[in-house]
Structure 1
Amino acid sequence: MFRKLFLATSFVAAAAAAQAQDIDVQHYRFHLKLSDSSDRIEGEARMEILFPKETSAFSLDLVGPKGSKGMTVTEVGSYANQKWRQEGDKIRFEFDAPVNAGQKHTFLVKYRGIPADGLIISKNKHGERTFFADNWPNRAHHWIPCNDRPDDKATFEFIVTAPSKYQVISNGELVNREIKMTANGPSGHVELTPLVTHWRCDVALPTKVMVIGAARFAVKTFADSPAGIPVSAWVYPQDSTKGFYDYALAPSIVKFFSEYIAPFPYSKLANVQSKTIFGGMENASAIFYAEESVTGDRKWEDVIAHEIAHQWFGDMASEKSFAHLWLSEGFATYLTNIYFEKKYGADALRKRLEADRKQVLDFVKSSKSPVVDSTSNLMSLLNANSYQKGGWVLHMLRQEVGDAAFQKIIKAYYNKYKGGNAETRDLQAIAESVSSRELGYFFDQWLYRPGVPRLRFEEKRDEDGLKLKIYQEGLVYRLNLEVELEVGGRKERHVVRITGPETEFKRKGNVTGKLVIDPDASLLFEQVK
Structure 2
Amino acid sequence: MRLLALIGLVLLGACRAADAPPQAAEAAKVAPVLDSPDAADIHSYAKPLEARVTHLALDLAVDFEAKRIGGTATLDIEAKPEAKEIVLDDKGLEIEAVSDESGKPLPFKVGEADENLGAPLTITMGDKRKIKILYKSAPDAGALQWLTPEQTAGKQHPYLLSQGQSIENRTWIPTQDSPGIRQSWEARITVPQPLTAVMSAPRQGEPQELGRTRQFSFAMDKPVAPYLIAIAVGDLAYRELGPRTGVWTEPAMLDKAAAELADTEKMVEAAEALYGPYQWGRYDMLVLPPSFPFGGMENPTLTFLTPTFIAGDKSLTSLIAHELAHSWSGNLATNATWADFWLNEGFTSYAERRIIEKVYGPKVAAQQVALGLDAMQKGIIENGGPQGADTRLHIDLEGRHPDEGLTDIAYEKGAAFLLTIEQTVGRERFDAWMRGWFDRHQFEPVTTNIFLADIREHLVKGDKALEAKLMLDQWVNEPGVPSNLAGADPQAFAEVDAAVTAFAGGKLPDRAAWARWNTDERLRFLNRVDRKQSAKQLAALDGAFGLSRSGNNELRFAFLTMAVANRFDPAVPALEEFLTMQGRRKFVRPLITSLAEDAGWGRPIAKRVYARARPLYHPVTTRDLDELKL
TM-score bucket of the superposed structures, by smaller chain: 0.7 to 0.9
1:57 is aligned to 2:85: yes
Match of 2:260 in 1: 246
| 1:317-367 deviation digits (Å, cap 9, x = unpaired) | 101111111111011111111122223333323222221111111222242
1:356 is aligned to 2:381: no
2:184 corresponds to which of 155, 166, 190: 155
Once residues 486 and 301 of structure 2 are traced to their aligned partners in structure 1, the CA distance between those partners, rounded to angstroms, is: 39
Count of residues in correspondence between the two structures? 422
Once residues 276 and 139 of structure 1 are traced to their aligned partners in structure 2, the CA distance between those partners, rounded to angstroms, is: 14
Once residues 254 and 346 of structure 1 are traced to their aligned partners in structure 2, the CA distance between those partners, rounded to angstroms, is: 18
1:259 corresponds to which of 273, 289, 292: 273
Match of 1:218 in 2: 237
CA contact (8 A) 2:54 2:75 kept: yes
Match of 1:272 in 2: 286
- The alpha carbon displacement at 1:117 in A equals 1.3
Match of 1:452 in 2: 481
Match of 2:328 in 1: 312
Q: Which moved more, 1:46-55 or 1:137-146?
A: 46-55
- The alpha carbon displacement at 1:82 in A equals 4.3
CA contact (8 A) 2:295 2:319 kept: yes
Q: 1:74 to 1:352 in 2, by over 3 A?
A: same
Match of 1:443 in 2: 472
Match of 1:77 in 2: 99
1:429 is aligned to 2:443: no
- Secondary structure of the structure 2 residue equivalent to 1:173: coil
1:208 is aligned to 2:243: no
Match of 1:23 in 2: 51
User: Can you give the 5+ residue segments of structure 1 that lack an aligned partner in the other structure?
Assistant: 1-12, 65-70, 182-191, 454-476, 485-529
CA contact (8 A) 2:162 2:230 kept: yes
Match of 1:94 in 2: 124
Q: 1:193 to 1:479 in 2, by over 3 A?
A: closer
Once residues 295 and 14 of structure 1 are traced to their aligned partners in structure 2, the CA distance between those partners, rounded to angstroms, is: 40
CA contact (8 A) 1:44 1:110 kept: yes
Letter in 1 for 2:240: T
| 1:338-349 map, 5 Å | 338-349=354-365
Q: 1:148 to 1:196 in 2, by over 3 A?
A: same
Match of 2:305 in 1: 289
- Secondary structure of the structure 1 residue equivalent to 2:63: coil
CA contact (8 A) 2:100 2:106 kept: no
- The alpha carbon displacement at 1:22 in A equals 2.9
- The alpha carbon displacement at 1:38 in A equals 2.6
Match of 1:501 in 2: none
| 1:180-191 map, 5 Å | 180=209
1:415 is aligned to 2:439: yes
1:121 is aligned to 2:149: no
Match of 2:196 in 1: 167
Q: 1:17 to 1:253 in 2, by over 3 A?
A: farther
Once residues 407 and 203 of structure 1 are traced to their aligned partners in structure 2, the CA distance between those partners, rounded to angstroms, is: 26
CA contact (8 A) 2:162 2:232 kept: yes
1:388 is aligned to 2:412: yes
CA contact (8 A) 1:179 1:196 kept: yes
1:135 corresponds to which of 143, 164, 174: 164
Following superposition, which runs of at least 4 residues in structure 1 exceed 4 angstroms of deviation? 17-20, 79-82, 477-484
2:213 corresponds to which of 155, 179, 194: 194
- Secondary structure of the structure 2 residue equivalent to 1:314: coil
Q: 1:180 to 1:352 in 2, by over 3 A?
A: closer
- The alpha carbon displacement at 1:158 in A equals 1.4
Once residues 450 and 17 of structure 1 are traced to their aligned partners in structure 2, the CA distance between those partners, rounded to angstroms, is: 29
Letter in 2 for 1:90: P
User: Can you give the 5+ residue segments of structure 2 that lack an aligned partner in the other structure?
Assistant: 1-40, 114-118, 491-630
- Secondary structure of the structure 2 residue equivalent to 1:46: strand
CA contact (8 A) 2:53 2:76 kept: yes
Q: 1:333 to 1:236 in 2, by over 3 A?
A: same
Letter in 2 for 1:261: Y
- Secondary structure of the structure 2 residue equivalent to 1:76: strand
Q: 1:361 to 1:129 in 2, by over 3 A?
A: same
Once residues 246 and 487 of structure 2 are traced to their aligned partners in structure 1, the CA distance between those partners, rounded to angstroms, is: 44
Letter in 1 for 2:365: L
TM-score (norm 2): 0.63
1:105 is aligned to 2:124: no
| 1:192-249 deviation digits (Å, cap 9, x = unpaired) | 2300000101011011111111111120112x32xxxx31100111111101111222
- The alpha carbon displacement at 1:480 in A equals 7.8
CA contact (8 A) 1:33 1:160 kept: yes
TM-score (norm 1): 0.75
- Secondary structure of the structure 2 residue equivalent to 1:55: coil
Once residues 67 and 489 of structure 2 are traced to their aligned partners in structure 1, the CA distance between those partners, rounded to angstroms, is: 61
CA contact (8 A) 1:24 1:50 kept: yes
CA contact (8 A) 2:62 2:189 kept: yes
Letter in 1 for 2:325: A
Larger radius of gyration: 1
- The alpha carbon displacement at 1:169 in A equals 1.0
| 1:24-56 deviation digits (Å, cap 9, x = unpaired) | 211110011113333122221001011146323
CA contact (8 A) 1:247 1:271 kept: no
Letter in 1 for 2:344: S
| 1:438-517 map, 5 Å | 438=464, 439=467, 442-453=471-482, 477=483
CA contact (8 A) 2:44 2:176 kept: no
Once residues 483 and 133 of structure 1 are traced to their aligned partners in structure 2, the CA distance between those partners, rounded to angstroms, is: 40
- The alpha carbon displacement at 1:434 in A equals 2.9
Q: 1:483 to 1:47 in 2, by over 3 A?
A: closer
Letter in 1 for 2:248: W
| 1:65-100 deviation digits (Å, cap 9, x = unpaired) | xxxxxx2111111165842123343321235x6x5x
Match of 2:606 in 1: none
Letter in 1 for 2:247: A
Match of 1:328 in 2: 344
Once residues 379 and 315 of structure 1 are traced to their aligned partners in structure 2, the CA distance between those partners, rounded to angstroms, is: 18
RMSD after superposition: 2.5
Once residues 90 and 167 of structure 2 are traced to their aligned partners in structure 1, the CA distance between those partners, rounded to angstroms, is: 11
Q: 1:177 to 1:86 in 2, by over 3 A?
A: farther
Match of 1:506 in 2: none
CA contact (8 A) 1:239 1:294 kept: no
Judging by fraction of residues, say which structure has more strand.
Answer: 1
Q: 1:81 to 1:193 in 2, by over 3 A?
A: closer
Once residues 432 and 453 of structure 2 are traced to their aligned partners in structure 1, the CA distance between those partners, rounded to angstroms, is: 13
Q: What is the identity percentage for the equivalent residue pairs of Structure 1 and Structure 2? A: 20
Q: 1:257 to 1:53 in 2, by over 3 A?
A: farther
Once residues 272 and 40 of structure 1 are traced to their aligned partners in structure 2, the CA distance between those partners, rounded to angstroms, is: 22
CA contact (8 A) 2:99 2:106 kept: no
| 1:240-277 deviation digits (Å, cap 9, x = unpaired) | 11011112222111111112101111121220012531
- Secondary structure of the structure 1 residue equivalent to 2:208: strand
Letter in 2 for 1:348: V
- Secondary structure of the structure 1 residue equivalent to 2:304: strand
Once residues 484 and 370 of structure 2 are traced to their aligned partners in structure 1, the CA distance between those partners, rounded to angstroms, is: 21
Judging by fraction of residues, say which structure has more helix.
Answer: 2
